[in-house]
């Protein structure tokens, strides 16, 4: 249950309303009982990350906005694209100092695991593209706090642009040398950390967001972990469901790349799960129970499903993307998102996906593979491309406003 914020109380209109607010609050957030012993830090104070944001970045970025430094900073940061590149000259001293520290890999980062993660990403690129786009991406629309934050922030007005920026993160984390000097993931993560800090400052000023949000400041560390689970944890769960054979070392390496990613996004080590078992336990507590329908999420999902419209007038892409969403996230979520049933694609995915994966993985003898299974490959590439082809040129920049009126 959300603690009753001052604004909730006011909105609910006094004591009677407060009682009502208590009984109708959005899906309850379970108490935080996940132990920091299971984290990459191995220990921690155990504070509920619901009430932790980003102590370093938040006041700094709020001050950049207030000082009018953001346009200059954004222009300078456009030239900063590679992990190993020095920060551009001319950044405000406080920002420079913060970014120098924020760009450091954690001491527990393991280069050998990060290299192995690339092998995994390369081998599983097809599945990963589809899963990031359609399982993680669509799941974000049924994470109420995220859906509201995205919808009412500047990026919510241009989802094509927004999705391309998120796709860049998915691409950068899976690229060769992602975290090495010639890679880009450190840059992307640190810039994203600045964007999130800006959103924490800006969104509370949006009357639209404030009118529907059940919190005063968005993007807590707990929310960050919820979204994190919609990415690697959800992807790994699906790959396991589909019985894709993954060597243990590769699975650990994939997790590791996302642990390092989480650290660079400003998530505290004490909240980052050390193992898949710990990740699953944390996701069961923080992700699964909070999934719910919001009007903002329904609108965002509709925009996402229509992203292919300029290419094929939505004739093929929308039904396929809808059917994939239903297949991956289930009937209940599809219903929340008002995704219609697809008489051709729904049954095809249900019956043919398992054998398709098996064939791809070489578990079934090749000559027995009906030709139709191979068609999936082509459709999948198209579906993934719909999300990823928008990905250029992509600049992650500190926003100065919320969603325009």
| Cβ pair 153, 403 in contact under 8 A | yes
> Whole-angstrom Cα distance, residue 395 to residue 137?
19
The footprint of ligand HEM on this chain (CB under 6 A) covers a number of residues equal to 24
Residue 49 as a binder of ligand HEM (CB under 6 A): the answer is: no
Among positions 217-246, residues that touch ligand HEM (CB under 6 A) are 218-219, 223-224, 227-228
| Comparison of 201 and 326: residue with beta carbon closer to ligand HEM | 201
Which C-beta is closer to ligand HEM: that of 262 or that of 339? 262
Using CB under 6 A, pick the residue from 199, 279, 307, 334 that binds ligand HEM: 199
Residue closer to ligand HEM by CB (options 54, 342) is: 54
Token code pair at residue 205: 């000023």
Q: Could you give the 3-state DSSP secondary structure of residue 313? A: coil
Q: Which of 136, 147, 205 is nearest to 399 (CA)?
A: 205
| DSSP 3-state of 220 | coil
x/- map, 249-288, ligand HEM, by CB under 6 A: ----------------x-----------------------
Please provide residue 27's backbone torsions phi and psi, each rounded to the nearest 5 degrees: -40, 135
- Site map 139..178 versus ligand HEM, x via CB under 6 A: ------xx--xx--xxx------x--xx--x---------
Answer whether 211's CB lies under 8 Å from 148's CB: no
Q: What DSSP designation does 230 have?
A: I
Q: 219 exposed, middle or buried (CB, 10 Å; 0-12, 13-18, 19+)?
A: buried
Between 285 and 348, whose beta carbon lies closer to ligand HEM?
285
Q: Whole-angstrom Cα distance, residue 341 to residue 85?
A: 49
**132/327 with CB nearer ligand HEM:** 132
For ligand HEM, the binding residues (CB under 6 A) are 145-146, 149-150, 153-155, 162, 165-166, 169, 192, 195-196, 199, 218-219, 223-224, 227-228, 265, 396, 399
């Amino acid at each position: 249950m959300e603690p009753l914020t001052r604004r909730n109380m006011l909105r609910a209109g006094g004591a009677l309303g407060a009682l009502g607010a208590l009984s109708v609050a959005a899906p309850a957030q379970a108490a935080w009982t996940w132990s920091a012993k299971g984290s990459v830090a191995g220990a921690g104070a155990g504070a509920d990350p619901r009430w932790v944001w980003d102590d370093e970045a938040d006041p700094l970025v709020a001050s950049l906005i207030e000082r009018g430094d953001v346009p200059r900073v954004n222009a300078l940061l456009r030239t900063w694209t590679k992990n190993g590149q020095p920060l551009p000259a001319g950044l405000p001293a406080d920002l420079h100092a913060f970014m120098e520290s924020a760009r450091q890999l954690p001491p527990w980062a393991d280069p050998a695991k990060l290299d192995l993660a690339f092998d995994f990403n390369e081998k599983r690129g097809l599945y990963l593209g589809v899963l990031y786009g359609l399982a993680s991406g669509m799941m974000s629309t049924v994470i109420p706090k995220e859906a509201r934050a995205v919808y009412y922030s500047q990026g919510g007005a241009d989802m094509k642009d927004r999705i391309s920026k998120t796709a860049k993160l998915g691409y950068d984390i899976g690229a060769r040398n992602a975290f090495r000097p010639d890679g880009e993931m450190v840059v992307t993560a640190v810039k994203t950390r600045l964007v999130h800090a800006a959103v924490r400052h800006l969104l509370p000023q949006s009357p639209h967001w404030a009118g529907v949000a059940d919190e005063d400041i968005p993007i807590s560390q707990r929310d960050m972990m919820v979204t994190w689970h919609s990415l690697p944890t959800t992807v790994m769960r699906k790959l396991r469901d589909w019985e894709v054979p993954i060597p243990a070392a590769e699975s650990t390496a994939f997790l590791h790349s996302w642990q390092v990613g989480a650290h660079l996004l400003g998530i505290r080590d004490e909240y980052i799960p050390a193992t898949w078992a710990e990740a699953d336990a944390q996701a069961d507590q923080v992700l699964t129970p909070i999934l719910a329908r919001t009007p903002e999420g329904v609108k965002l999902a509709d925009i996402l499903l229509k992203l292919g419209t300029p290419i094929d007038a939505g004739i093929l892409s929308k039904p396929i993307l809808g059917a994939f969403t239903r297949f991956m996230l289930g009937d209940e979520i599809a219903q929340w998102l008002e995704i219609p049933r697809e008489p051709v694609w729904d049954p095809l995915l249900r019956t043919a996906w398992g054998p398709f994966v098996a064939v791809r993985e070489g578990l079934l003898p090749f000559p027995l593979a009906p030709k139709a299974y191979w068609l999936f490959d082509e459709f999948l590439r198209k579906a993934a491309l719909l999300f990823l082809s928008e990905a250029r040129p992509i600049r992650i920049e500190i926003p100065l406003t919320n969603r325009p009126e």
